[in-house]
Amino acid sequence: MNNKPLLIKNAWLCQIDSGTVNPFFGNMLIENGIITQINSADVSIQQKDFDIIDAQGRVVTIPNVNFHDHIYSRLAKGLPSLGSMQNFTEILENLWWKLDQILDFAMIKASAYMAAVESIRYGVTYIFDHHSSPLHTIGSLKILKDALSEFSIRNVLCFETTDRNGEQLKLEGIKENQEFFLHNTDENSESVFGLHASFTVEDSTLSAVRNFLEKNKIGIHIHLCEDESDRSMSLQKYGKLPVQRLLDFNLLNDKSILVHGVHLTKEEFDSIKSIKPALAVNLDSNLNNAVGTPKFENIPEEIPILCGTDGMHANIPRSQKQMFLIMRNQKLSFDKAFYLFRKMYFDQLNFIKKYFPDFLSLQVGNRADLIIWDYVPPTPMNQNNFFGHYVYGILERQVHSVIQNGKVLMNNFNLTDVDETKFNNYIYEQGKRLAKGLTQPFPKGRA
Ligand SMILES: [Zn+2]
Protein backbone atom coordinates (compact mmCIF):
# COMPACT_ATOMS: atom_id res chain seq x y z
CA MET A 1 0.00 0.00 0.00
CA ASN A 2 1.27 3.50 -0.75
CA ASN A 3 2.49 5.41 2.26
CA LYS A 4 1.71 8.76 0.70
CA PRO A 5 -1.89 9.76 0.02
CA LEU A 6 -2.83 9.73 -3.66
CA LEU A 7 -4.82 12.51 -5.31
CA ILE A 8 -6.60 11.78 -8.60
CA LYS A 9 -7.69 15.06 -10.05
CA ASN A 10 -9.78 16.26 -12.98
CA ALA A 11 -11.59 12.94 -13.43
CA TRP A 12 -15.10 11.82 -14.32
CA LEU A 13 -15.77 9.66 -11.25
CA CYS A 14 -18.45 7.15 -12.27
CA GLN A 15 -19.96 6.47 -8.88
CA ILE A 16 -22.54 3.79 -8.20
CA ASP A 17 -25.53 5.32 -6.51
CA SER A 18 -28.90 3.67 -5.82
CA GLY A 19 -28.84 1.40 -8.87
CA THR A 20 -27.47 4.02 -11.24
CA VAL A 21 -24.04 5.11 -12.41
CA ASN A 22 -23.73 8.78 -11.58
CA PRO A 23 -20.71 10.50 -13.16
CA PHE A 24 -19.24 13.35 -11.12
CA PHE A 25 -16.41 15.55 -12.31
CA GLY A 26 -13.91 16.18 -9.56
CA ASN A 27 -10.96 15.11 -7.45
CA MET A 28 -10.55 12.06 -5.27
CA LEU A 29 -8.20 11.56 -2.36
CA ILE A 30 -7.04 8.07 -1.38
CA GLU A 31 -5.39 7.41 1.97
CA ASN A 32 -4.31 4.02 3.34
CA GLY A 33 -6.23 2.20 0.66
CA ILE A 34 -9.50 4.04 1.28
CA ILE A 35 -11.28 6.81 -0.66
CA THR A 36 -11.34 9.58 1.95
CA GLN A 37 -12.49 12.65 0.02
CA ILE A 38 -14.33 13.48 -3.17
CA ASN A 39 -14.68 17.13 -4.17
CA SER A 40 -15.66 18.99 -7.26
CA ALA A 41 -12.68 19.96 -9.39
CA ASP A 42 -12.71 23.60 -8.32
CA VAL A 43 -12.33 22.75 -4.61
CA SER A 44 -8.70 22.26 -3.61
CA ILE A 45 -7.94 19.50 -1.14
CA GLN A 46 -6.09 20.89 1.86
CA GLN A 47 -3.16 18.58 2.05
CA LYS A 48 0.24 18.92 0.47
CA ASP A 49 2.34 15.81 0.65
CA PHE A 50 0.67 13.42 -1.74
CA ASP A 51 1.23 11.74 -5.08
CA ILE A 52 -0.91 13.13 -7.89
CA ILE A 53 -2.42 11.60 -11.01
CA ASP A 54 -3.97 14.24 -13.24
CA ALA A 55 -6.65 12.37 -15.20
CA GLN A 56 -7.08 15.36 -17.55
CA GLY A 57 -10.79 14.74 -17.99
CA ARG A 58 -10.57 10.95 -18.32
CA VAL A 59 -13.16 8.54 -16.90
CA VAL A 60 -12.73 6.58 -13.64
CA THR A 61 -14.80 3.45 -12.95
CA ILE A 62 -14.84 0.42 -10.68
CA PRO A 63 -12.34 -2.26 -11.83
CA ASN A 64 -13.20 -4.98 -14.33
CA VAL A 65 -13.92 -8.51 -13.13
CA ASN A 66 -13.26 -11.71 -15.04
CA PHE A 67 -15.91 -14.13 -13.81
CA HIS A 68 -14.57 -17.15 -15.72
CA ASP A 69 -10.91 -17.56 -16.50
CA HIS A 70 -8.63 -20.56 -17.03
CA ILE A 71 -5.23 -19.23 -16.06
CA TYR A 72 -3.78 -22.67 -16.80
CA SER A 73 -4.35 -22.13 -20.52
CA ARG A 74 -2.35 -18.88 -20.76
CA LEU A 75 0.80 -20.39 -22.31
CA ALA A 76 -1.21 -22.11 -25.07
CA LYS A 77 -0.08 -19.92 -27.92
CA GLY A 78 1.53 -21.25 -31.09
CA LEU A 79 1.58 -24.84 -29.85
CA PRO A 80 2.01 -27.84 -32.16
CA SER A 81 -1.10 -29.50 -33.55
CA LEU A 82 -2.03 -32.49 -31.43
CA GLY A 83 -4.84 -33.97 -33.48
CA SER A 84 -8.10 -33.17 -35.17
CA MET A 85 -10.15 -30.30 -33.70
CA GLN A 86 -13.24 -30.51 -35.87
CA ASN A 87 -15.74 -30.32 -33.03
CA PHE A 88 -16.02 -29.42 -29.35
CA THR A 89 -15.19 -32.91 -28.09
CA GLU A 90 -12.06 -33.09 -30.24
CA ILE A 91 -10.96 -29.63 -29.05
CA LEU A 92 -11.13 -30.90 -25.48
CA GLU A 93 -9.52 -34.27 -26.18
CA ASN A 94 -6.80 -33.09 -28.53
CA LEU A 95 -5.83 -29.84 -26.87
CA TRP A 96 -6.96 -29.01 -23.35
CA TRP A 97 -7.03 -32.52 -21.88
CA LYS A 98 -3.52 -33.12 -23.20
CA LEU A 99 -2.17 -29.72 -22.21
CA ASP A 100 -3.44 -29.82 -18.63
CA GLN A 101 -1.62 -33.11 -18.00
CA ILE A 102 1.73 -31.54 -18.88
CA LEU A 103 1.40 -28.64 -16.43
CA ASP A 104 3.62 -28.58 -13.36
CA PHE A 105 3.98 -25.93 -10.66
CA ALA A 106 6.55 -23.85 -12.54
CA MET A 107 4.32 -23.70 -15.64
CA ILE A 108 1.28 -22.86 -13.49
CA LYS A 109 3.21 -20.03 -11.86
CA ALA A 110 4.31 -18.69 -15.25
CA SER A 111 0.71 -18.88 -16.50
CA ALA A 112 -0.45 -16.88 -13.48
CA TYR A 113 2.21 -14.21 -14.04
CA MET A 114 1.15 -13.87 -17.66
CA ALA A 115 -2.53 -13.69 -16.71
CA ALA A 116 -1.80 -11.11 -14.01
CA VAL A 117 0.11 -8.74 -16.30
CA GLU A 118 -2.49 -9.07 -19.08
CA SER A 119 -5.35 -8.58 -16.64
CA ILE A 120 -3.95 -5.39 -15.14
CA ARG A 121 -3.53 -3.95 -18.64
CA TYR A 122 -7.27 -4.47 -19.19
CA GLY A 123 -8.18 -3.10 -15.76
CA VAL A 124 -9.09 -6.55 -14.41
CA THR A 125 -8.13 -6.82 -10.75
CA TYR A 126 -10.61 -9.51 -9.70
CA ILE A 127 -10.42 -12.99 -11.27
CA PHE A 128 -12.63 -16.05 -10.81
CA ASP A 129 -10.46 -18.91 -12.04
CA HIS A 130 -11.27 -22.52 -12.94
CA HIS A 131 -8.03 -24.49 -12.70
CA SER A 132 -6.90 -27.85 -14.08
CA SER A 133 -3.51 -29.54 -13.73
CA PRO A 134 -4.44 -33.17 -12.99
CA LEU A 135 -0.94 -34.52 -12.44
CA HIS A 136 -0.03 -31.65 -10.13
CA THR A 137 -3.27 -31.11 -8.25
CA ILE A 138 -2.45 -30.84 -4.56
CA GLY A 139 -1.04 -27.39 -3.82
CA SER A 140 -1.80 -25.97 -7.28
CA LEU A 141 -4.35 -23.41 -6.06
CA LYS A 142 -1.86 -22.01 -3.53
CA ILE A 143 0.60 -21.47 -6.43
CA LEU A 144 -2.08 -19.45 -8.26
CA LYS A 145 -3.03 -17.52 -5.15
CA ASP A 146 0.55 -16.55 -4.34
CA ALA A 147 1.37 -15.50 -7.92
CA LEU A 148 -1.78 -13.35 -8.23
CA SER A 149 -1.15 -11.85 -4.81
CA GLU A 150 2.25 -10.62 -6.00
CA PHE A 151 0.24 -8.39 -8.36
CA SER A 152 -2.44 -7.47 -5.79
CA ILE A 153 -5.13 -9.24 -7.85
CA ARG A 154 -8.00 -10.53 -5.75
CA ASN A 155 -9.14 -14.01 -6.75
CA VAL A 156 -11.77 -16.70 -6.33
CA LEU A 157 -10.20 -20.07 -7.10
CA CYS A 158 -11.28 -23.66 -7.63
CA PHE A 159 -9.95 -26.89 -9.04
CA GLU A 160 -11.79 -28.62 -11.89
CA THR A 161 -13.09 -31.85 -10.34
CA THR A 162 -13.66 -34.55 -12.96
CA ASP A 163 -13.84 -38.33 -13.33
CA ARG A 164 -12.17 -38.29 -16.73
CA ASN A 165 -8.70 -39.05 -15.29
CA GLY A 166 -9.72 -41.91 -12.99
CA GLU A 167 -10.58 -42.35 -9.32
CA GLN A 168 -7.31 -41.30 -7.70
CA LEU A 169 -7.00 -38.00 -9.56
CA LYS A 170 -10.70 -37.29 -9.00
CA LEU A 171 -10.17 -37.68 -5.24
CA GLU A 172 -7.17 -35.36 -5.38
CA GLY A 173 -9.32 -32.76 -7.16
CA ILE A 174 -11.99 -32.93 -4.47
CA LYS A 175 -9.32 -32.70 -1.77
CA GLU A 176 -7.66 -29.65 -3.38
CA ASN A 177 -10.98 -27.77 -3.44
CA GLN A 178 -11.70 -28.69 0.15
CA GLU A 179 -8.24 -27.96 1.53
CA PHE A 180 -7.99 -24.60 -0.23
CA PHE A 181 -11.40 -23.53 1.02
CA LEU A 182 -10.68 -24.61 4.58
CA HIS A 183 -7.08 -23.42 4.96
CA ASN A 184 -6.07 -20.90 2.31
CA THR A 185 -8.90 -18.44 1.82
CA ASP A 186 -8.64 -14.93 3.22
CA GLU A 187 -9.85 -11.39 2.51
CA ASN A 188 -8.14 -11.33 -0.91
CA SER A 189 -8.50 -14.95 -1.98
CA GLU A 190 -11.79 -16.82 -1.89
CA SER A 191 -12.95 -20.13 -3.33
CA VAL A 192 -15.79 -22.04 -4.86
CA PHE A 193 -16.07 -25.75 -5.56
CA GLY A 194 -14.88 -26.52 -9.08
CA LEU A 195 -16.56 -29.13 -11.27
CA HIS A 196 -15.69 -29.66 -14.93
CA ALA A 197 -19.03 -30.33 -16.62
CA SER A 198 -21.91 -32.75 -16.23
CA PHE A 199 -20.64 -35.16 -18.88
CA THR A 200 -17.36 -35.90 -17.03
CA VAL A 201 -18.63 -36.05 -13.44
CA GLU A 202 -20.16 -39.24 -12.04
CA ASP A 203 -23.17 -39.34 -9.72
CA SER A 204 -21.02 -40.54 -6.81
CA THR A 205 -18.76 -37.50 -7.26
CA LEU A 206 -21.70 -35.10 -7.27
CA SER A 207 -22.95 -36.76 -4.12
CA ALA A 208 -19.60 -36.32 -2.36
CA VAL A 209 -19.45 -32.66 -3.38
CA ARG A 210 -22.97 -32.00 -2.14
CA ASN A 211 -22.08 -33.02 1.40
CA PHE A 212 -19.20 -30.55 1.48
CA LEU A 213 -21.28 -27.74 -0.04
CA GLU A 214 -24.10 -28.17 2.42
CA LYS A 215 -21.76 -28.20 5.39
CA ASN A 216 -19.77 -25.15 4.29
CA LYS A 217 -22.33 -23.13 2.32
CA ILE A 218 -20.16 -22.51 -0.73
CA GLY A 219 -21.05 -22.31 -4.41
CA ILE A 220 -19.98 -24.39 -7.39
CA HIS A 221 -18.25 -23.22 -10.59
CA ILE A 222 -19.15 -25.52 -13.50
CA HIS A 223 -19.40 -25.51 -17.29
CA LEU A 224 -23.04 -26.01 -18.22
CA CYS A 225 -24.37 -26.82 -21.68
CA GLU A 226 -21.46 -25.18 -23.49
CA ASP A 227 -21.95 -27.54 -26.40
CA GLU A 228 -24.94 -29.67 -27.34
CA SER A 229 -22.81 -32.74 -26.51
CA ASP A 230 -23.04 -31.90 -22.77
CA ARG A 231 -26.76 -32.61 -23.07
CA SER A 232 -26.57 -35.74 -25.20
CA MET A 233 -23.68 -37.30 -23.27
CA SER A 234 -25.23 -36.57 -19.86
CA LEU A 235 -28.46 -38.11 -21.03
CA GLN A 236 -26.67 -41.15 -22.42
CA LYS A 237 -24.36 -41.70 -19.42
CA TYR A 238 -26.60 -40.71 -16.51
CA GLY A 239 -30.12 -40.75 -17.95
CA LYS A 240 -30.66 -37.06 -17.14
CA LEU A 241 -29.94 -33.67 -18.63
CA PRO A 242 -27.23 -31.56 -16.93
CA VAL A 243 -29.52 -29.05 -15.18
CA GLN A 244 -31.69 -31.84 -13.79
CA ARG A 245 -28.61 -33.55 -12.35
CA LEU A 246 -27.51 -30.34 -10.61
CA LEU A 247 -31.02 -29.87 -9.22
CA ASP A 248 -31.40 -33.49 -8.14
CA PHE A 249 -28.09 -33.40 -6.28
CA ASN A 250 -29.03 -30.05 -4.74
CA LEU A 251 -25.79 -28.45 -5.91
CA LEU A 252 -27.07 -24.99 -6.81
CA ASN A 253 -27.27 -21.88 -4.67
CA ASP A 254 -27.00 -18.12 -5.18
CA LYS A 255 -23.19 -18.25 -5.04
CA SER A 256 -22.97 -20.74 -7.94
CA ILE A 257 -21.39 -19.81 -11.26
CA LEU A 258 -22.80 -21.64 -14.26
CA VAL A 259 -20.60 -21.13 -17.29
CA HIS A 260 -21.79 -20.66 -20.91
CA GLY A 261 -25.41 -21.93 -20.84
CA VAL A 262 -25.39 -21.82 -24.65
CA HIS A 263 -27.69 -24.83 -24.96
CA LEU A 264 -29.93 -24.25 -21.96
CA THR A 265 -33.60 -24.10 -22.85
CA LYS A 266 -35.94 -21.40 -21.57
CA GLU A 267 -37.68 -24.04 -19.46
CA GLU A 268 -34.37 -25.04 -17.88
CA PHE A 269 -33.52 -21.42 -17.08
CA ASP A 270 -36.97 -21.08 -15.53
CA SER A 271 -36.43 -24.22 -13.45
CA ILE A 272 -33.41 -22.67 -11.69
CA LYS A 273 -34.34 -19.00 -11.54
CA SER A 274 -35.71 -19.09 -7.99
CA ILE A 275 -32.29 -20.36 -6.79
CA LYS A 276 -30.55 -17.42 -8.53
CA PRO A 277 -27.26 -18.99 -9.63
CA ALA A 278 -25.22 -16.69 -11.91
CA LEU A 279 -24.54 -17.30 -15.60
CA ALA A 280 -21.02 -16.42 -16.79
CA VAL A 281 -21.07 -15.66 -20.51
CA ASN A 282 -17.87 -16.15 -22.59
CA LEU A 283 -18.64 -15.13 -26.15
CA ASP A 284 -15.11 -15.16 -27.60
CA SER A 285 -14.73 -18.77 -26.54
CA ASN A 286 -18.19 -19.71 -27.86
CA LEU A 287 -17.36 -18.18 -31.23
CA ASN A 288 -13.92 -19.79 -31.36
CA ASN A 289 -15.30 -23.24 -30.54
CA ALA A 290 -18.29 -22.76 -32.85
CA VAL A 291 -20.73 -24.01 -30.19
CA GLY A 292 -23.30 -21.23 -30.67
CA THR A 293 -24.05 -18.28 -28.40
CA PRO A 294 -26.43 -18.02 -25.43
CA LYS A 295 -29.91 -16.76 -26.25
CA PHE A 296 -30.07 -13.61 -24.17
CA GLU A 297 -33.84 -13.35 -24.41
CA ASN A 298 -34.19 -16.72 -22.65
CA ILE A 299 -32.30 -15.63 -19.53
CA PRO A 300 -34.74 -14.78 -16.75
CA GLU A 301 -34.46 -11.52 -14.85
CA GLU A 302 -33.59 -13.41 -11.66
CA ILE A 303 -30.39 -14.95 -13.10
CA PRO A 304 -27.37 -12.63 -12.75
CA ILE A 305 -25.46 -12.27 -16.04
CA LEU A 306 -21.67 -12.07 -15.68
CA CYS A 307 -18.81 -11.73 -18.17
CA GLY A 308 -15.81 -14.06 -18.54
CA THR A 309 -13.12 -14.91 -21.08
CA ASP A 310 -12.86 -18.71 -20.64
CA GLY A 311 -9.06 -18.41 -20.53
CA MET A 312 -8.71 -17.04 -24.04
CA HIS A 313 -7.38 -13.67 -22.89
CA ALA A 314 -7.92 -11.01 -20.25
CA ASN A 315 -9.81 -8.55 -22.40
CA ILE A 316 -13.01 -8.07 -20.41
CA PRO A 317 -13.79 -4.69 -22.04
CA ARG A 318 -13.94 -6.32 -25.49
CA SER A 319 -15.95 -9.24 -24.13
CA GLN A 320 -18.48 -6.87 -22.58
CA LYS A 321 -18.77 -4.96 -25.84
CA GLN A 322 -19.28 -8.24 -27.65
CA MET A 323 -22.16 -9.06 -25.33
CA PHE A 324 -23.91 -5.93 -26.50
CA LEU A 325 -23.20 -6.66 -30.16
CA ILE A 326 -24.38 -10.28 -29.96
CA MET A 327 -27.59 -9.12 -28.27
CA ARG A 328 -28.15 -6.76 -31.17
CA ASN A 329 -27.29 -9.52 -33.61
CA GLN A 330 -29.98 -11.64 -31.95
CA LYS A 331 -32.41 -8.84 -32.95
CA LEU A 332 -32.89 -7.44 -29.46
CA SER A 333 -33.95 -3.79 -29.75
CA PHE A 334 -31.53 -1.07 -28.65
CA ASP A 335 -33.73 -0.51 -25.61
CA LYS A 336 -33.68 -4.18 -24.66
CA ALA A 337 -29.94 -4.59 -25.34
CA PHE A 338 -29.12 -1.53 -23.22
CA TYR A 339 -31.47 -2.79 -20.52
CA LEU A 340 -29.71 -6.17 -20.37
CA PHE A 341 -26.26 -4.62 -20.59
CA ARG A 342 -27.05 -2.29 -17.71
CA LYS A 343 -28.45 -5.26 -15.78
CA MET A 344 -25.18 -7.13 -16.35
CA TYR A 345 -23.20 -4.16 -15.00
CA PHE A 346 -25.14 -4.19 -11.74
CA ASP A 347 -25.43 -8.00 -11.60
CA GLN A 348 -21.64 -8.24 -11.52
CA LEU A 349 -21.50 -5.64 -8.77
CA ASN A 350 -24.07 -7.43 -6.63
CA PHE A 351 -22.64 -10.88 -7.28
CA ILE A 352 -19.04 -10.08 -6.40
CA LYS A 353 -20.14 -8.71 -3.05
CA LYS A 354 -21.07 -12.28 -2.10
CA TYR A 355 -17.32 -12.98 -2.22
CA PHE A 356 -15.84 -9.58 -1.39
CA PRO A 357 -18.40 -7.60 0.64
CA ASP A 358 -16.13 -4.54 0.58
CA PHE A 359 -16.26 -4.25 -3.25
CA LEU A 360 -16.61 -0.57 -3.92
CA SER A 361 -19.17 1.83 -5.34
CA LEU A 362 -16.57 4.61 -5.78
CA GLN A 363 -17.93 6.46 -2.74
CA VAL A 364 -16.13 8.06 0.19
CA GLY A 365 -15.22 5.37 2.73
CA ASN A 366 -14.91 2.63 0.09
CA ARG A 367 -11.86 0.50 -0.64
CA ALA A 368 -9.83 2.25 -3.35
CA ASP A 369 -9.96 -0.19 -6.30
CA LEU A 370 -10.44 1.74 -9.53
CA ILE A 371 -9.35 2.20 -13.10
CA ILE A 372 -8.79 5.28 -15.25
CA TRP A 373 -9.78 4.77 -18.87
CA ASP A 374 -8.12 6.65 -21.72
CA TYR A 375 -11.46 8.21 -22.57
CA VAL A 376 -12.43 11.87 -22.33
CA PRO A 377 -16.18 12.20 -23.06
CA PRO A 378 -16.74 14.21 -26.22
CA THR A 379 -20.29 15.14 -25.15
CA PRO A 380 -21.83 15.78 -21.71
CA MET A 381 -22.03 12.63 -19.58
CA ASN A 382 -24.63 12.04 -16.87
CA GLN A 383 -26.53 9.22 -15.22
CA ASN A 384 -29.02 9.04 -18.10
CA ASN A 385 -26.48 8.49 -20.86
CA PHE A 386 -23.60 6.82 -18.98
CA PHE A 387 -24.13 3.46 -20.71
CA GLY A 388 -24.09 5.10 -24.13
CA HIS A 389 -20.64 6.45 -23.29
CA TYR A 390 -19.66 3.11 -21.75
CA VAL A 391 -20.63 0.87 -24.67
CA TYR A 392 -19.52 3.08 -27.56
CA GLY A 393 -16.70 5.06 -25.95
CA ILE A 394 -15.15 3.70 -22.78
CA LEU A 395 -15.03 0.01 -23.77
CA GLU A 396 -13.25 0.88 -27.00
CA ARG A 397 -10.35 2.56 -25.20
CA GLN A 398 -7.31 1.25 -23.41
CA VAL A 399 -7.03 1.38 -19.66
CA HIS A 400 -4.71 4.24 -18.69
CA SER A 401 -4.11 3.56 -14.99
CA VAL A 402 -5.06 0.94 -12.40
CA ILE A 403 -5.25 1.40 -8.63
CA GLN A 404 -5.91 -1.51 -6.28
CA ASN A 405 -6.42 -1.03 -2.57
CA GLY A 406 -4.81 2.39 -2.95
CA LYS A 407 -1.72 1.00 -4.67
CA VAL A 408 -0.91 2.15 -8.20
CA LEU A 409 -0.48 -1.00 -10.32
CA MET A 410 -0.34 0.83 -13.65
CA ASN A 411 0.18 4.54 -14.28
CA ASN A 412 -0.10 6.12 -17.72
CA PHE A 413 0.05 2.66 -19.40
CA ASN A 414 3.19 1.63 -17.48
CA LEU A 415 3.07 -1.19 -14.95
CA THR A 416 4.66 -0.08 -11.70
CA ASP A 417 7.01 -2.27 -9.64
CA VAL A 418 7.01 -5.00 -12.31
CA ASP A 419 10.19 -6.17 -14.02
CA GLU A 420 8.49 -7.23 -17.24
CA THR A 421 11.69 -8.55 -18.83
CA LYS A 422 12.27 -10.87 -15.88
CA PHE A 423 8.68 -12.11 -15.98
CA ASN A 424 8.68 -12.53 -19.75
CA ASN A 425 11.89 -14.56 -19.60
CA TYR A 426 10.41 -16.83 -16.95
CA ILE A 427 7.17 -17.21 -18.91
CA TYR A 428 9.10 -18.03 -22.09
CA GLU A 429 11.21 -20.70 -20.36
CA GLN A 430 8.08 -22.41 -19.03
CA GLY A 431 6.26 -22.01 -22.34
CA LYS A 432 9.12 -23.79 -24.08
CA ARG A 433 8.90 -26.63 -21.55
CA LEU A 434 5.15 -26.91 -22.17
CA ALA A 435 5.55 -26.97 -25.96
CA LYS A 436 8.26 -29.63 -25.66
CA GLY A 437 6.14 -31.68 -23.26
CA LEU A 438 3.34 -31.76 -25.78
CA THR A 439 5.60 -33.47 -28.32
CA GLN A 440 6.43 -36.34 -25.90
CA PRO A 441 4.29 -39.47 -25.44
CA PHE A 442 1.31 -38.54 -23.26
CA PRO A 443 0.86 -39.64 -19.69
CA LYS A 444 -2.59 -41.15 -19.21
CA GLY A 445 -3.45 -40.23 -15.69
CA ARG A 446 -0.76 -41.02 -13.15
CA ALA A 447 1.51 -44.02 -13.83
ZN1 LIG B 1 -14.24 -22.59 -19.19
For residue 393, what is the domain's CATH number? 2.30.40.10
Distance 162 CA to ligand 1 centre (A): 13
Distance 197 CA to ligand 1 centre (A): 9
Residue 15's DSSP bridge partners are 22
Total domain count, the chain: 2
* pLDDT tens profile 21-67: 999 999 999 999 999 999 998 877 766 789 999 999 999 999 999 99
Q: Is the pTM above the cut of 0.85?
A: yes
**In the predicted model, is pLDDT for residue 442 greater than 70?**
no
Note whether 137 and 278 are same-domain residues: yes
Note whether 59 and 83 are same-domain residues: no
Distance 221 CA to ligand 1 centre (A): 10
Neighbours of 129 (CB within 10 A): 27
Residue 415's DSSP bridge partners are 410
**In the predicted model, is pLDDT for residue 248 greater than 80?**
yes
Q: Measure CA 136 to chain center.
A: 23
Distance 259 CA to ligand 1 centre (A): 7
Closest to 362 (Cα-Cα) out of 8, 5, 17 = 17
Is residue 28 a part of any domain in this protein? yes
User: Predicted confidence band at 446 (pLDDT cuts at 50, 70, 90)?
Assistant: low
Note whether 121 and 213 are same-domain residues: yes
List alpha helices for 134-222, DSSP H: 140-150, 167-183, 203-216
First to last CA, the chain: 46
Distance 41 CA to ligand 1 centre (A): 44
Note whether 59 and 88 are same-domain residues: no
Note whether 318 and 394 are same-domain residues: no
Query: Which of 325, 352, 379 corresponds to the end of one domain?
Result: 352
Note whether 324 and 386 are same-domain residues: no
Domain residues for the domain of 16 are 6-63+369-415
User: Predicted confidence band at 17 (pLDDT cuts at 50, 70, 90)?
Assistant: very high
Distance 76 CA to ligand 1 centre (A): 14
Note whether 74 and 55 are same-domain residues: no
* pLDDT tens profile 344-381: 999 999 999 999 999 999 999 999 999 999 999 999 99
* pLDDT at residue 447 in the model: 41
* pLDDT at residue 226 in the model: 93
Residue 281's DSSP bridge partners are 307
* pLDDT at residue 445 in the model: 58
Note whether 56 and 80 are same-domain residues: no
The stretch 257-263 carries a mean pLDDT of 97
Distance 151 CA to ligand 1 centre (A): 23
Note whether 158 and 98 are same-domain residues: yes
Percentage of the chain exceeding pLDDT 90: 89
Note whether 111 and 241 are same-domain residues: yes
For residue 131, what is the domain's CATH number? 3.20.20.140
- DSSP label at 94? I
